Amino acid sequence: MSGKLITLRGLVWATLLESIRRKDLYVLLILSLALMGGTGFIQFFGVSGLEQFLKDISLFVVNVCVLVLCVTATARQLPREIEMRTLFPLLAKPMSRAEYLVGKFFGSLLLAVVALALFAAEFALIAHIGGASLGWIFAQALYLRILSLSVVVAMVLCLSLVLTHSANVVISLMLVFGASLFSRSINLVYFELEETSPLVGKALLWVYYFTPHFDLFDLSEKVVFDWPPVSWATLGALSLYGLAYTLVLLVVAQLIFRRKSI
């Protein structure tokens, strides 16, 4: 194994180990199981035809739990390392700051993916017990969720270099959960202002394109209503979009971090 890969493996392992030993994952797993299980329990009272409701609520719980875990765990990585000074002996080793950031990125992403896999397994089990079917669209939804998580991790990591931990968590969660609302609002305001104030309209258009559209990666509604799988072309385009955003955010993070005094 090459030297860089050994370092990367070490950093990823340390990030994962921290979250496992802090028991964040277990707490959310139990909480989500209780929420999804509670929803699934309704059918035992003779209420039928609630498969869609069950899927809708359960998927919402999965998405919220994974995103909250992903944002909070990623946001604390760098500030905590600086605060506890664990960063100093680590950066004193023969690795670049870019390697460190990439290690933290993959560590946080792996944690999010592990959490998503566990929550998805929970969801599939509850859906199966509740008699709901999950088609190929569910696999696609999971794939796109992983892509959006990579953008989220890169964004939170980047913001953690300029914001405090709490500010980062709040802003990131607002950006992630408010993505769809934000896009729609900007669209509406843009069409209103396009003719009256073209300059403001143009600025809004830039903001629209500049902000990551997390809503594009969300196939929850299609899973709930058993849609057929989306086309490969759409998946490919979204993959490129997600990877490009991740890459740009990581490059920005590195540009900030490379000359940052710690």
The residues of the shown chain that bind other proteins, judged by CB under 8 A, are 1, 3-4, 6-7, 9-11, 13-14, 17-18, 21-22, 84-86, 88-96, 259, 261-262
Closer to other proteins by Cβ: residue 80 or 222 = 80
The CA dihedral of 172, 104, 142, 168, to the nearest 10 degrees, is: -10
Closest approach of other proteins to the CB of residue 260, in Å: 9
Closest approach of other proteins to the CB of residue 162, in Å: 15
Q: What are phi and psi of 5, to 5 degrees?
A: -70, -35
Closer to other proteins by Cβ: residue 9 or 165 = 9
Closest approach of other proteins to the CB of residue 167, in Å: 18
CA angle 192, 198, 202 (to 5 degrees): 95
Closer to other proteins by Cβ: residue 91 or 134 = 91
Closer to other proteins by Cβ: residue 52 or 96 = 96
Closest approach of other proteins to the CB of residue 257, in Å: 12
The number of beta carbons lying within 10 Å of the beta carbon of residue 136 is 11
Residue 225 DSSP class: T
Q: Measured between alpha carbons, how far is 48 from 219 in angstroms, rounded to an integer?
A: 25
Residue 49 DSSP class: S
